[in-house]
Amino acid sequence: MASFDKAAFFNEKSAKIYVAGHRGLVGSAIQRKLLSLGFHNLVLRTHDELDLTRQSDVESFFRSELPSYVILCAAKVGGIHANSTYPADFIAVNLQIQTNVIDAAYRCGSTKKLIFLGSSCIYPKHAPQPIPESALLTSPLEPTNEWYAIAKISGIKMCQAYKIQYGWDVISAMPTNLYGPFDNFHPQNSHVLPGLMRRFHEAKISDAKEVVVWGSGSPLREFLHVDDLADAVLFLLGNYDGLEHVNVGSGKEVTIKELAEMIKEVVGFQGKLIWDPTKPDGTPRKLMDNSKLAKLGWEAKISLRDGLVGTYKWYLENAVNQQ
């Protein structure tokens, strides 16, 4: 197994890097970041070209391509409704993808380093705020997405196990709520930020007088632009080789009401925003403790408002006519 030199990564512009899940929100941002930094030997496969749930196909791919670095952001993802309706899919597919890719990357012998991307939903429902890495497995999960969360926790532990047993340089990063280009703007299955952006845009186009939003608007949430996450992932590839997973967030939180007002302004909707307090608010607060990553020397750079402006521009140019 090749050893990893921290100082070398950013100078290896010709290194073969496999980005698993390059068409998704996270993977596409990582691909853009790598290309912008001059990395030109990227290995990319669509789902049709390589089904990551098929162990033999994944093993053949790694034996053939022999990548030096692997960025694992391929996953089956979805909102509360999807997680509740298809729990078997969410635990089985994600476990299959992770197990196949991590094991094949190790066994092919060429992969110096792998980074596994998870989610903040790995933490307990009633975790302390802000949520430190040490909160993992300290109390029960949020029931609505526990199948996905357990799969991601298993990915973290698998990475740690391969590091302990084989001395392989494999790390995990857990991002907070993400948004940006290639987000999911589906009317039922999207998360709060892209969902609100679509609703305000459609209200503007139809000259609606008001938009009704669920809840009181009081819950606090943290958001990170996906381009900042991509920057953090490459930073960790070059600067971190510890056993514990690392939180990746902006360190800043806004109320859902503040978020809605900001999106309303960016979109240019002139009508009223009506809150429906009879609908559930969800968790009052969900903020990641990003002090570990900050001590390593990384912090988010894209402000929420600037990120919203760029995301709405992308939505107008790429998504609005494909709904």
Annotated active-site positions, please? Answer: 148
User: For 221, phi and psi rounded to 5 degrees?
Assistant: -135, 155
For 95-135, the DSSP string reads HHHHHHHHHHHHHTS--SEEEEE--GGGS-TT--SSB-GGG
Residues 6+ apart with CB under 8 A from 129: 285, 286, 287
Taking each helix axis from N to C end, the angle separating 304-314 and 256-267, rounded to the nearest 10 degrees, works out to 50
The number of beta carbons lying within 10 Å of the beta carbon of residue 13 is 11
Question: Dihedral sign, CA of 42, 47, 52, 54?
Answer: negative
Distance CA 62, CA 5 (A): 22
In this structure, which amino acid lies at residue 85? Answer: T
Class of residue 61 by CB neighbours under 10 A (exposed 0-12, middle 13-18, buried 19+): buried
